[in-house]
């Protein structure tokens, strides 16, 4: 189930928080291709934010191919091919480069070495993979216990 939370003190615009959380939910396996998203009005009411803010986040996600809207039918997570392998390498780089640049600046200011930054990134990727695996039902995992 999708659980969205907004932090007024984070310094990150609300629409970006929504975009990031939805992308994270997809990346971690909480949301899958075809899963419905709550309506703009429902999301705005639940989070006590302006519906236009939710609409902006959804429009950005749709433009990126992360979600798709069916007129009169709702908003859904796009097909997995649209989320990953279907994106051209240049598009993937375009989306990641600003994030990596920001990370590099922050790491430099904090005097992180390149090796430490690589270790941190590897750790976070492993955590993401573990999070994905924890959302796989036990009957589909490799071990009888479900690796949980």
Burial of residue 69, with CB atoms counted within 10 A of its CB: 0-12 exposed, 13-18 middle, 19 or more buried: middle
Q: Of 64, 63, 65, 71, which is closest to residue 33 (Cα–Cα)?
A: 65
Specify the pLDDT at position 6.
Answer: 95
Helix (H, G, I), strand (E, B) or coil at 111: coil
Residue 25 CA to residue 3 CA, distance in Å, equals: 9
Residue 65's pLDDT is 87
- How do the domains of the chain map onto residue ranges? 10-85, 88-136
10-85 is a CATH 1.10.10.10 domain = yes
Residue whose tokens read 């920001």: 102
Residue 38 in contact with residue 84, Cβ under 8 Å?
Answer: no
Q: What is the pLDDT of residue 137?
A: 56
User: Three-class SS of residue 74?
Assistant: strand
State residue 135's pLDDT score.
67
Place of tokens 């993937």: 92
The residue with tokens 């615009």 is: 13
| Residues 23, 25, 26, 28, CA torsion sign | positive
Tens digit of each residue's pLDDT, the chain (148 residues): 789 999 999 999 999 999 989 988 887 778 888 999 999 999 999 999 999 999 999 999 999 889 999 999 999 999 765 555 544 465 677 778 888 999 999 999 999 999 999 999 999 999 988 887 776 655 444 433 444 3
* CA separation, residue 26 to residues 13, 19, 31, 97, 119 (Å): 20, 11, 5, 20, 24
């Amino acid at each position: 189930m999708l659980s969205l939370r907004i932090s007024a003190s984070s310094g990150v615009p609300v629409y970006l928080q929504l975009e990031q959380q939805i992308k994270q939910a997809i990346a971690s396996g909480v949301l899958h291709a075809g899963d419905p998203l709550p309506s703009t009005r429902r999301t705005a009411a639940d989070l006590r934010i302006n519906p236009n803010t939710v609409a902006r986040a959804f429009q950005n996600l749709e433009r990126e191919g992360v979600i798709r809207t069916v007129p009169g039918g709702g908003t859904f997570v796009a097909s997995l091919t649209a989320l990953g392998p279907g994106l051209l390498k240049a598009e993937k780089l375009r989306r990641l480069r600003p994030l990596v640049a920001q990370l590099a600046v922050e790491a430099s200011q904090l005097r992180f070495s390149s090796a430490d930054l690589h270790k941190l990134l590897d750790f976070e990727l492993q955590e993401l993979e573990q999070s994905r695996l924890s959302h796989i039902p036990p009957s589909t995992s490799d071990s009888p216990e479900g690796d949980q």
